[in-house]
Structure 1
């Protein structure tokens, strides 16, 4: 469980969808569950703003260290139930999380360096595959919204 060296996570996080012109999406496979593919996610640290977390998590999880101007803040958040297998990461009794949504449009040849403690693989995939792979409903919703925006 949690120790003084590893404090509980805040139940506030970010989701950063990485795409190339809303046609290709970068999906990351979690190391603790081979079926769990996702975009970049991460909890806010103490006194951290969602945009700062999005930038930090992008850099930590993919090696894409971008400027604030390159990250699109959707001014949208999803509230969802935390998966039971992750309850121990949060303060006792915490069962809901608020996830702020961001996206970045990057070149397909952008160098990607995944965080080996969190992810075992990454793939650039088409929109349909991204929707199929995305494990969490909030991740699927965000990808679907990007696809709809591109089509209009």
Structure 2
């Protein structure tokens, strides 16, 4: 049997406006667990920036595009995506360990920020998320279940352009 395990390298993408409003999404498999966009690399060769772009689109419908001239509704320029150069290593919750190869207990999360021009309505992947909400950054940080997500959001003022 060929099993495709998740790679224990992921991204956390904080989506925010210049007014410091942050988008949070509620997990479908854990109602009440709010977070920013997260997701694992599809392959070891997938660049982390591409993982971030893919996950933002899959989880919110927001497209991060190469060319500024082509930006339209629900699209943001790649220039608005910033690698915050923060890596968090944490223990994978036991409830999710079955997704990873036997013996894998830790994940390395790479933090990105995506500044959007306005609070977009989002298109959720129904199997992954139940609801979305835009909140001022301090309120968003308090609502997150993950301490690494909370810490990243609280650093937001350092990254606003």
Could you state the TM-score of these two structures normalised by the residue count of structure 1? 0.90
Any gaps of 5 or more consecutive residues in structure 2?
66-77
Q: Does 1:82 align with 2:92?
A: yes
Quote the RMSD (CA, aligned, Å): 1.7
Moved over 3 A (4+): none
Residue in 2 that maps onto 1:54? 52
- The number of equivalent residue pairs is 147
The 8 Å contact of residues 84 and 112 in structure 2, kept in 1 or not, is answered as yes
Q: Does 1:27 align with 2:37?
A: no
1:66 is paired with a residue of what secondary structure? strand
Q: Does 1:131 align with 2:129?
A: no
Deviation at 1:23, TM superposition (A): 1.8
Name the CA shift for 1:127/1:59 in 2 (closer, same or farther; >3 Å): same
Residue in 1 that maps onto 2:11? 14
Residue in 2 that maps onto 1:42? 39
1:139 is paired with a residue of what secondary structure? helix
Could you state the TM-score of these two structures normalised by the residue count of structure 2? 0.85
Residue in 2 that maps onto 1:102? 112
The 8 Å contact of residues 20 and 156 in structure 2, kept in 1 or not, is answered as no
The 8 Å contact of residues 80 and 116 in structure 2, kept in 1 or not, is answered as no
